[in-house]
Structure 1
């Protein structure tokens, strides 16, 4: 990609082993069919940070689905790329780049994962970055963009296809949760400033807290049972959840993007 302009800004680079395990687990399930079907199972870990752990772990988790899956870690900081190079092996490589997603030979990734990358950007920049990244996807590909805490207990992400955003997933270590709205601090950039009265995401989290409180009698059976009952209550109240009990027991809930999309104001 000689001479190509690198697009983006250097992030803080904070990373920890297993920080993105919840997102990885969801990706492996959501992308299983496409990963098995594609002739070129290459994925990109965009902005992996100061250490390559997330790229290494993503490869392992995807190879449980597709044994010849390939991960390319892309970082805008050349020093981070150099530091990651000793970890390269067949199926795992690292490249200098940004939102232009530099893959040789015109390859297009089946997945771009961008975790904790857009947090530092202005809200108004998000749509343009999303469009640029989605434009790099292979047919059937997915962009997953979101934010989590430092040790991966709380995570919220948006899944997007070439047509734009599709869904929002809330995922948490249930033993650490006080109430579902604790996840608000990890909303991705497109939503975090919209958690105010009158916005759909605020209405959703308020409803989730109410359902969580109503499910308190199930606490003696464990947080999983309480979370699942709260999720079911959300569905009964008209929220169009896209997943079911198998995912709820993992501490996840996925909602269509259209149900949480910011207002136009």
Structure 2
């Protein structure tokens, strides 16, 4: 199914129809810190080597905080990075304009990504949660087609799409390259977690309705809970040590793609193929 299209007044992209629908626009300062830090750590090299390291904050919401913070965090890893915040609601763009500065701009648009060339990063947080599951594949395909292509030693641009709670304690996202989905990352403030399956409510739209018996993501969260329970003796050393031990046990049966350096941050990343929905 194709992505829904809405032509809104005052499009700033040469009259091209704006693709998408207006979201609720909920946002809070520091909400996307876990995603931002992961992006800077794992994609910083691509941003540094890019000739024009443009990152897009797609659907930043009713206030521009997440775009402002993304620029700060990316520049710690790639000093030449630029951020363009894109919103489908013209009033939100107008409200964000006073925050523009060197390296930060705001544009009216949607999934068509109204920026010249191909961005090295597109971040779409808490956007597709408001769409139907059947629409996700078409949106992913459209956004991946806008990414910087692979070649010359580069893996190409990155699309990071996911969902978090209102204050950013729990977050799950999918990372996609020009070729499609690559990984799924689960990230949390460990002190807020009773068990890893608590993250199920923050699964992105492509997976949230698949957390049922017979689906890989359900099996993964079941095994994660079992590993967490088995690691209970490590709780005396703190939640971080318990998480690290549980993830280490998971690696026996699941293709975990990251290392203890990321596990220590309350993260674990798994190959998309292992969690992809059963068709």
Determine if the TM-score, normalized by the shorter chain, exceeds 0.5.
Answer: yes
CA RMSD of aligned residues (A): 0.6
Unaligned runs of 5+ in 2: 1-12, 150-155
Deviation at 1:79, TM superposition (A): 0.4
Aligned to 2:200: 184
The equivalent position to 1:126 in structure 2, one of 109, 119, 136, is 136
Secondary structure in 2 matching 1:151: coil
Deviation at 1:2, TM superposition (A): 1.6
For residues 64-119 of structure 1, give each alpha carbon's deviation from its aligned partner in whole angstroms, at most 9, with x where no partner exists: 1111210000000000000000000010000000000001xx32100000000000
Structure 1 residues 226-237: aligned runs within 5 Å: 226-236=242-252
Q: Verify the 8 A CA contact 2:48 2:80 in the aligned structure 1.
A: no
Q: Verify the 8 A CA contact 2:175 2:181 in the aligned structure 1.
A: yes
TM-score if structure 2 supplies the norm length?
0.93
Structure 1 residues 142-153: aligned runs within 5 Å: 142-153=158-169
- Separation (CA, whole Å) in 1 of partners of 2:257 and 2:172: 15
Aligned to 2:256: 241
Query: How many equivalent residue pairs?
Result: 261
Deviation at 1:153, TM superposition (A): 0.2
Secondary structure in 2 matching 1:31: helix
Unaligned runs of 5+ in 1: none
Aligned to 1:256: 271
Deviation at 1:13, TM superposition (A): 0.5
1:116 maps to 2:126: yes
1:37 maps to 2:53: no
Deviation at 1:30, TM superposition (A): 1.1
1:135 maps to 2:151: no
Structure 1 residues 7-156: aligned runs within 5 Å: 7-103=19-115, 106-139=116-149, 140-156=156-172
- Separation (CA, whole Å) in 1 of partners of 2:193 and 2:167: 14
Secondary structure in 1 matching 2:211: coil
- Separation (CA, whole Å) in 1 of partners of 2:179 and 2:79: 29
TM-score if structure 1 supplies the norm length?
0.98
